[in-house]
Amino acid sequence: MKKQPIVAESSRPAKAARPPGPLEGASFQTGAAHAHQLPPAGVPEIAFAGRSNAGKSSAINALARQTRLAYASRTPGRTQQINFFGLRNGAVVTDLPGYGYAAVPKALKEGWQEFLWTYITTRSTLVGLVLVVDARHGLKPLDGELLAGYLSSGRPLLILATKADKLNQAERRAAVVDIERQLREAFPGQAQLARVVAFSATSRQGVDDADATIASWLAP
């Protein structure tokens, strides 16, 4: 009987498992609608901010590999509180109220925005800001106001140019370049603190880049 040849097992190493992203495993902790409700400052915090309907909740969910961690209100601009999410390493992500939605009554809108600005400019444990911007529209005046209060502190900034799946490759590159130009023109002394990433919660473009940036902020 003819012997069958022995087939050696492949010597190719198994593909390494992807390390979990910094937001994976995040869980809701608490919400604060007023300054006196904010939890005591302690562990490092990373804030997510953006105009209403820019895709902030979708971006958080994509980075957390969850579908319903952050909720998008059916009526843009109605989310009134800062939501705190605990991370595996003990740090915290905060989801800030969306701003700029015209249908919200002026007095109420100004109250939310004052609360948001106060948090951004005075929270001592805030180590980084993720600003979510619709790639098709770039930075708007209210984004600029927020950044003016934040960048002067010298802390890092990540801009996620969301809904990138709605643009072709050339348009995505142009959108990132345009946002970078806006930053240089508006904040010539702080633009180097920012990184701009084309991002899509649908196609998951930019998720790994955002993971790496956020993880670097939380590194010991």
The domain that holds 102 is classified in CATH as 3.40.50.300
Please indicate, yes or no, if residue 167 is contained in any of the structural domains: yes
> Is 56 among the domain residues?
yes
| pTM for this prediction | 0.87
| Mean confidence (pLDDT) of the chain | 87
CA 78 – CA 137 distance, rounded (Å)? 22
pLDDT at position 168 over 70: yes
Q: What is the pLDDT of residue 26?
A: 95
The pLDDT value given to residue 76? 47
* Average pLDDT for 120-138: 95
Q: How far apart are CA 107 and CA 164, in angstroms?
A: 33
In a domain, 40, yes or no: yes
User: Count of domains in the chain?
Assistant: 1
**What local confidence, expressed as pLDDT, does residue 151 receive?**
95
- 205 inside domain: yes
Asked whether residue 112 carries a pLDDT value surpassing 50, the answer given is yes
User: Structural domain of residue 190, as residue ranges?
Assistant: 27-218
